[in-house]
Structure 1
Amino acid sequence: MTADDVEFGEVKVMGNILNPDKDNSFIRLVKFKDSEIFVDKTDFIGKISAKISADKRFFAITRPRRFGKTVTADMLSAYYSKGYAGQKIFDNLKISKEKNYEEHLNKYNVIYIDMNSIKDKYISYTSDKSLYIEDIDDIVDFLQYLVILDLKENKNYAEQINKAPLVGKKSLSSALDVICRYTGEPFILIMDEWDLIYREYKNETVLQEKFIEFLRGLFKSKDGQDCFALAYLTGILPIKKYNSQSALNGFKEYNMLAPEPFETYFGFTEDEVAEIVKSPDCTLSHQELKKWYEGYKLNGIDIYNPNSVVSAVSDGKCKSYWSGTSSNEEFVRLINTDFQGIKEDIINLIEGDEVTFSCANFQNDMVNIKDKNDVFSLLVCLGYLGCAETKNQYRKVAYVPNAEIKAVLMDIVREQNWYERMETIKRSESLLKAIKELDGATVATLIQEIHNSSAVTLLDYNDEESLTYCVMTGLLWSTLDDYSCHREDQSGKGRVDLVYEPITRRQPLILIEFKYDGSAEEAIAQIKKQEYCKRYTGQFKNIIIVGINYSTKTKDHQCLIEKLN
């Protein structure tokens, strides 16, 4: 079979890599920007263009899935590639207002490598023995072969490559060197999901090393560097380190652990979400979107998960869209490591606690995980945790960023065989059981334990809000399946502090009123006087009312519970 005849499935391999000219994710967004959510971040182009042909012109920008990496890579391709010349894609966008807007517009031969597409074609290649090409034995060989094949679609390039005896089917660096020596024009290379081999082939160390050597061949030597006016890699994982050095020292990396100065270009900011909710088509409030999808603090800037915001606004409902974007197997593997206390740490994080960790020795891969510090570093890179800065650049504070991730983590944790054995889970079950049995003394004792736990500090325990949070933390795990929780729900002549409404009528409705330096008796009396139960009496035959007080003098909790007939 000749190179010109090679097809895999229904997808022809040529014409997709050098100077792509088809609609991509960014172009489609621009086309429908008047009817769909479109956030203009094209000023990012100006920041990248400022580095063209400079010493620091190699970028690796990594973020979790669905954080806008591909659409940004597509945006850069549409701006720099000669394939899009004359299409006026950027008219009236931010970048068009900049002084040097046209300096680099569609002036470059762009090599765009989509590693997900390469993987899909490689699977087709390996599944059909009739497609076998001599010496193309793994995905790294296959990647180079496809790019060279695409380059040879250009007749001038093909002529130069064919003249060079040292350029084989899998020597992309040599092919580019030959072309650039002939044309004098450097390429721009964009590689989306650069870390796919580290994620999808995470146990194949020989293949990973071969891939890194391939990248080194492109970017390490002076001849290789001269072939590129700009190189831009995207992925989830930062570039792997060997010892303390990056495998590609020439690349400037921007990741979830060190995002500056590009914090605002991946994800939505507060101001951008504020504009989104102004649309008449948006039925969700800014506060709802903030609770569910914000919380990634990149260098102190609050960032929202953009895919989830768009999905929620489109559906008109806030829920978790995270689980549909990636497998959670990696998270499961990490929390089931034998590192001391990792399971307790995860549960505490879900309950609202924070955990400090060091990212100083993280090797940026998914296999060589040495301790809890590596676990938290990787979970931040994957987007399961947010992290805040400390005075030490390598010490970070991990936390669960928002309701979306919290829901995902809770579902994962509850599927683990150790879940029911955890003391926190047992305590939550005991607290709900004591409420149902009208055992106020036990409820007060358990709340005291929760109050003294790491998730609820004495420093912040200074009002009814803190007391409410303490009880919600205690009931978090035991009420997941059978209850929905409402705070300050309008009922009767006022607002009851906390309502646990059962999903089925088999469970009792629970109304809780809090007092701070008052008494549990006052709380119970208020529920009755304000007729908080009136709204529910027609729906529920089994209603439990709970009064809880905290005394700042004695530092004790008091609880009274009654069952209404």
Structure 2
Amino acid sequence: MLRAGAHVLGAPAFFPVGRSNFKRIRASGAFYVDHTRFLEVWERVGEDGYTTLLRPPRFGKTLMLDMMAAYYDAGVGADEHDRLFHGLYIGENPTSGARAHHVLRLNLAPSASVGASFDMQAFLDDAVDDALVDFVERYNLAVQRERPFEMRDIKRVVGAVGRAGGRVMVLIDEYDRVANELMVKDKDAYARSVMGVSGEEASSPLRSLLTTFKMAQDRAPVTLLMTGLTPIVLADVSAYNVARNLTLREEFGDFFGFTSGDIERGLTTAGHGSGDIAAALAVMRKWYNGYLFPGASQRVFNPQISLHFMDLFTSSARVKEATLRGVIAPDDLVSRNLRVTESMLSVLATSRAGAGPLAKLLGGDATYTLEGRVVDEFRFSDLMRWNLEGVESESEDKFCSYLYYHGALTFAEKPGMLPPDKLSIPNELVRREFWDALPKRLRDAVLKTLDAAFAAGPQASAELWEDIFSALNERSAAGIADTSRVDEHAFRGMLLWMTGNEAVSVQTEVAAPRQSSEGAGTGRVDLVVEHVKSPTRFVIELKRVKGSGPKALAGAVERAAEQVADYDLSAVPKAAHVTHDVRLAVVLADDDVVVRVVGDEE
């Protein structure tokens, strides 16, 4: 729902890209999607307690908290409150909590990069001091600041509100932002800053902060809502077990993201006609849509990235013309400052626990079925075990759940009453981010050589394919000290990066009858690779050997060649334009790759 009234001449752009100040957005008449019914629902389940709500990056969490601060703030006058919420759901259906709280805002997003030398204690001290100074001044509290405020002063300030008969609402934004960066850059710093010592509530800076808010409840009625990305830090900061996690509850499914109706109304108000809007939506559905949360009535678009495109479509004649002609450039589709996922995607992209799920998600299946539900609690140590232990369904479920929280996966269908849940990649932008997780050198080497292999068709040499497999084998082993762990299961996942070329399709573990009496029955082809313009299909059997001795390699090549030659490929569906099958036997060694072209047939 749009705000009633016209955009104010001379105000910031109509589409508020990167802006999260609710009062300014409303005052300027900028585009605003009404999610204020969230307050009514949240008050029923969490207004008198401590709650957490997680959503992917760029999904409007900060704006939601700023709207909440304006609604609940006892310091906002009645007239201003009415102007801010006029025409919105909550303005027409006010709750008892309106203008009834002293609101304490705490934003834990760092202003500079986070590294091994990052001082979490100093960072939190500064954030607390800034928040309490603003809080005391705004509500004119009788609290002296003889030195910078510290965590221990939270109880003193809350007590001042309680003695006056007031209520405190604490809104913490990006509670795990720093922690997520430390996970990637320095796990020891993460342990010091977040995990602390099991059973000791004040043994890390973040534990101390959350424990202090928990203990402040005896000074005044305190309501707390905390937003972030994943439940990992909640699990590692076990001192904060009083918070209810609302993330997967169905009643909150419709309060983040844009619907196609929201986008149509925004573009209409910006002056675009129906034909232009249809062209814009066609692009946006491919690149930004597809997110489905539990209980949601429909799939939604990533809001911040959608705003970026809507603003360009409105302000740039070049971008609009390219959109209408269907030749929009990828660089116009997303700003580098508006990436969907966080940096850990580049680490998890090559995790052994991820090889199986990624093979299905990036291959022909396009979905991954969990053993159970999306996991609502797991620890940082669970992530580390994926690179050290065998692949288990529990590890794969946590891997996929982690990507779900980061917005790299979403529900493939509405969750049923019973498990399992099914997940899928939401859109083209996220699919490209999986590909972008690989270094440019590797992407270029693989794609250029792959093009050459398809151009050569049945005459493609074993050496061409060895170049492709060697580049991928080197990358798949790069983050694992024990390269014997890079088995054919993990390598199949790596080969799916070939789909960075949109013309290439890769299927894994494809069922195929065996022709020989010894191998009677149905087997599974490791990889089937096709190109939309090539008449050649490559059918690949993979083997992994430990060590690289001549006898071991020769024996593995013979076994792979016999196995791939035994498949009855006439029973394996192929695209109508494919006329040739080329069978390849591929053997992976610790420091070598051997490819044999077994034969080609029409």
1:187 and 1:227 in contact (8 A); partners too:
yes
For residues 146-225 of structure 1, the aligned pairs below 5 Å read 146-153=130-137, 157-159=141-143, 169-202=150-183, 203=187, 204=189, 205-208=191-194, 209=196, 210-221=204-215, 224=217
Equivalent residue for 2:435, pick from 403, 410, 415: 410
1:40 and 1:94 in contact (8 A); partners too:
yes
In 1, Cα distance between equivalents of 2:305 and 2:258: 10
Q: CA deviation at 1:246?
A: 5.7
TM-aligned CA distance change 1:429 to 1:474, over 3 Å = farther
1:17-50 deviation digits (Å, cap 9, x = unpaired): xxxxxx95222322333xx432122222222344
For residues 126-145 of structure 1, the aligned pairs below 5 Å read 138-145=122-129
- Pair 1:272 & 2:262 matched: yes
For residues 282-431 of structure 1, the aligned pairs below 5 Å read 283-285=276-278, 286-299=281-294, 301-316=298-313, 317=323, 319=330, 320-321=333-334, 323-326=336-339, 328-337=342-351, 339=352, 342-343=354-355, 345-346=357-358, 348-351=360-363, 353-357=366-370, 359-360=374-375, 362-363=377-378, 365=380, 368-371=383-386, 372-388=396-412, 391=416, 395-413=420-438, 415=440, 417=442, 430-431=453-454
The match for 1:115 is 108
Q: CA deviation at 1:356?
A: 2.6
Backbone CA RMSD of aligned residues: 4.5
Q: CA deviation at 1:361?
A: 7.6
The match for 2:21 is 25
The match for 2:86 is 91
In 1, Cα distance between equivalents of 2:417 and 2:50: 27
Amino acid at match of 1:92: G
In 1, Cα distance between equivalents of 2:360 and 2:121: 47
- Pair 1:434 & 2:457 matched: yes
In 1, Cα distance between equivalents of 2:128 and 2:498: 55
The match for 1:40 is 34
- Pair 1:78 & 2:70 matched: yes
In 1, Cα distance between equivalents of 2:112 and 2:575: 64
3-state DSSP class of the match of 1:82? Answer: coil
3-state DSSP class of the match of 1:267? Answer: coil
1:237 and 1:364 in contact (8 A); partners too:
no
TM-aligned CA distance change 1:207 to 1:474, over 3 Å = closer
Q: CA deviation at 1:175?
A: 1.3
In 2, Cα distance between equivalents of 1:554 and 1:97: 60
In 1, Cα distance between equivalents of 2:24 and 2:112: 24
Q: CA deviation at 1:78?
A: 1.2
The match for 2:252 is 262
In 1, Cα distance between equivalents of 2:238 and 2:150: 28
In 2, Cα distance between equivalents of 1:558 and 1:45: 54
Write 1 or 2 for the structure with the bigger share of helix: 2
In 1, Cα distance between equivalents of 2:261 and 2:40: 21
Amino acid at match of 2:152: S
Q: CA deviation at 1:185?
A: 0.9
Q: CA deviation at 1:74?
A: 0.7
In 1, Cα distance between equivalents of 2:255 and 2:290: 16
2:152 and 2:212 in contact (8 A); partners too:
no
- Pair 1:237 & 2:237 matched: no
1:41-62 deviation digits (Å, cap 9, x = unpaired): 22222223445753xx322111
TM-score by length of structure 1 reads 0.61
* Count of equivalent residues: 414
TM-aligned CA distance change 1:53 to 1:200, over 3 Å = same
Amino acid at match of 1:287: A
Amino acid at match of 1:324: N
TM-aligned CA distance change 1:268 to 1:552, over 3 Å = farther
Amino acid at match of 1:398: L
Equivalent residue for 1:66, pick from 38, 58, 76: 58
1:385 and 1:401 in contact (8 A); partners too:
yes
The match for 1:7 is none
3-state DSSP class of the match of 1:64? Answer: coil
In 2, Cα distance between equivalents of 1:409 and 1:432: 26
In 2, Cα distance between equivalents of 1:362 and 1:433: 50
2:102 and 2:169 in contact (8 A); partners too:
yes
In 2, Cα distance between equivalents of 1:382 and 1:363: 14
Deviates more, 1:426-435 or 1:173-182: 426-435
2:105 and 2:131 in contact (8 A); partners too:
no
Amino acid at match of 1:403: E
Q: CA deviation at 1:330?
A: 1.1
3-state DSSP class of the match of 1:67? Answer: coil
In 2, Cα distance between equivalents of 1:263 and 1:347: 29
In 1, Cα distance between equivalents of 2:113 and 2:285: 41
TM-score by length of structure 2 reads 0.58
3-state DSSP class of the match of 1:303? Answer: coil
For residues 467-506 of structure 1, the aligned pairs below 5 Å read 476-478=499-501
2:103 and 2:135 in contact (8 A); partners too:
no
3-state DSSP class of the match of 2:242? Answer: coil
Amino acid at match of 2:403: L
In 1, Cα distance between equivalents of 2:421 and 2:293: 12
Amino acid at match of 1:409: F
Amino acid at match of 1:335: A
Note the residue ranges of structure 2 that are not aligned, 5 or more in a row: 1-18, 197-203, 314-322, 387-395, 461-495, 505-531, 536-568, 580-602
TM-aligned CA distance change 1:150 to 1:95, over 3 Å = closer
The match for 2:97 is 104
3-state DSSP class of the match of 1:408? Answer: helix
Q: CA deviation at 1:390?
A: 5.3
1:239 and 1:247 in contact (8 A); partners too:
no
3-state DSSP class of the match of 1:220? Answer: helix
TM-aligned CA distance change 1:192 to 1:331, over 3 Å = same
Identity of aligned residues (%): 17
3-state DSSP class of the match of 1:201? Answer: helix
In 1, Cα distance between equivalents of 2:381 and 2:335: 20
In 1, Cα distance between equivalents of 2:192 and 2:497: 48
2:162 and 2:221 in contact (8 A); partners too:
no
TM-aligned CA distance change 1:267 to 1:136, over 3 Å = closer
3-state DSSP class of the match of 1:74? Answer: helix
The match for 1:494 is none
Q: CA deviation at 1:334?
A: 1.2
In 2, Cα distance between equivalents of 1:62 and 1:152: 29
The match for 1:502 is none
1:26 and 1:75 in contact (8 A); partners too:
yes
1:267 and 1:305 in contact (8 A); partners too:
yes
Note the residue ranges of structure 1 that are not aligned, 5 or more in a row: 1-22, 128-134, 439-472, 482-509, 514-550
Amino acid at match of 2:33: V
In 1, Cα distance between equivalents of 2:284 and 2:42: 30
Q: CA deviation at 1:77?
A: 0.9
